[in-house]
């Protein structure tokens, strides 16, 4: 927790704290860490690859180097171990879901003045979003059924946000579990036990795919509402 602001120096430090997050988020938006990957780049070559100003990129990279996310030697830059893995979309340790969510946080907080003027919360459309975000931020591996992905894409298309839904699913970096013949048989069994009109849980067809992934992998299920709380699954 940040200590209370008691002096003008404390006030100044608090205001200037936005700089590093903005530097890091800009690097993520440029996919800088992914482009650098495991290699060492000359700054002019990196600027050409990213299609940005060499002078502007120099300022960005110097700040990232001071923060320890890049290593600098002369006019050459390479990723730190953290940047080469957790921040690199081509690495299996990539924390894409967290990075996507934290970027959205920044966008949401830019609407603070609007929220104050209207009295509407920043997360008015998703009241349970903070809890969901907290879970996703704490997990490195997030599993999702291909059936759930299909359902999300169908709903997205109906609501005219199909491309946005596809981009979101891609950026979150889920591990998508395929639907096989044996999965199909289990889905029928799950619905027969927990489905609408059968059990108070009232799971629908799409819910059954999420249930199956959680059950087969012995992991908690991230959900909103109360339907799954009436099953035998643990909550993430």
pLDDT-based confidence at 137, cuts 50/70/90? low
pLDDT-based confidence at 82, cuts 50/70/90? very high
94 Ramachandran zone, left/alpha/beta (phi>0; psi -120 to 50): beta
pLDDT-based confidence at 158, cuts 50/70/90? confident
pLDDT-based confidence at 13, cuts 50/70/90? confident
Domains of the chain: 8-85 (1.10.10.10)
Whether 161 shows a pLDDT value over 90: the answer reads no
Whether 79 shows a pLDDT value over 90: the answer reads yes
Lowest mean pLDDT among 2-6, 124-128, 190-194, 211-215: 124-128
CA-CA distance, 96 to 175, in Å (whole number)?
11
Helices then strands, counting H and E runs in the chain, come out as 13, 5
Question: Which pLDDT belongs to residue 3?
Answer: 77
Tokens 């490195």 found at: 140
pTM of the shown model: 0.56
Greater confidence (41 vs 218) lies with 41
Q: What's the average model confidence in pLDDT over 79-85?
A: 96
Whether 159 shows a pLDDT value over 60: the answer reads yes
pLDDT-based confidence at 206, cuts 50/70/90? confident
In sequence order, the β-bridge partners of residue 41 are: 77
Question: Which pLDDT belongs to residue 95?
Answer: 82
CA-CA distance, 123 to 52, in Å (whole number)?
34
pLDDT-based confidence at 130, cuts 50/70/90? low
Whether 57 shows a pLDDT value over 80: the answer reads yes
In this structure, the number of other CB atoms found within 10 A of the CB of residue 123 comes to 13
Whether 124 shows a pLDDT value over 70: the answer reads no
């Amino acid at each position: 927790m940040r200590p209370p602001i008691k002096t003008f120096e404390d006030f100044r430090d608090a205001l200037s704290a936005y700089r590093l997050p903005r530097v890091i988020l800009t690097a993520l938006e440029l996919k800088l860490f992914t482009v650098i990957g495991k290699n060492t780049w000359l700054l002019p070559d990196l600027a050409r690859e990213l299609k940005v100003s060499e002078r502007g990129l120099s300022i960005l990279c110097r700040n990232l180097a001071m923060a320890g996310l890049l290593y600098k030697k002369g006019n050459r830059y390479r990723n730190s171990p953290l940047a080469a893995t957790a921040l690199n979309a081509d690495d299996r340790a990539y924390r894409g879901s967290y990075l996507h969510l934290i970027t959205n946080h920044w966008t949401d907080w830019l609407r603070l003045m609007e929220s104050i003027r209207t009295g509407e919360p920043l997360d008015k459309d998703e009241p349970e979003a903070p809890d969901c975000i907290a879970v996703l931020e704490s997990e490195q591996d997030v599993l999702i059924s291909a059936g759930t992905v299909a359902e999300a894409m169908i709903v997205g298309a109906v609501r005219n946000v199909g491309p946005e839904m596809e981009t979101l699913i891609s950026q979150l970096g889920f591990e998508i579990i395929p639907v096989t013949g044996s999965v199909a048989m289990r889905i029928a069994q799950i619905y027969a036990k927990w489905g609408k009109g059968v059990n108070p849980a009232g799971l629908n067809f799409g819910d059954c795919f999420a249930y199956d992934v959680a059950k087969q992998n012995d992991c908690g299920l991230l959900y909103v509402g109360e339907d799954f709380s009436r099953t035998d699954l643990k909550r993430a």
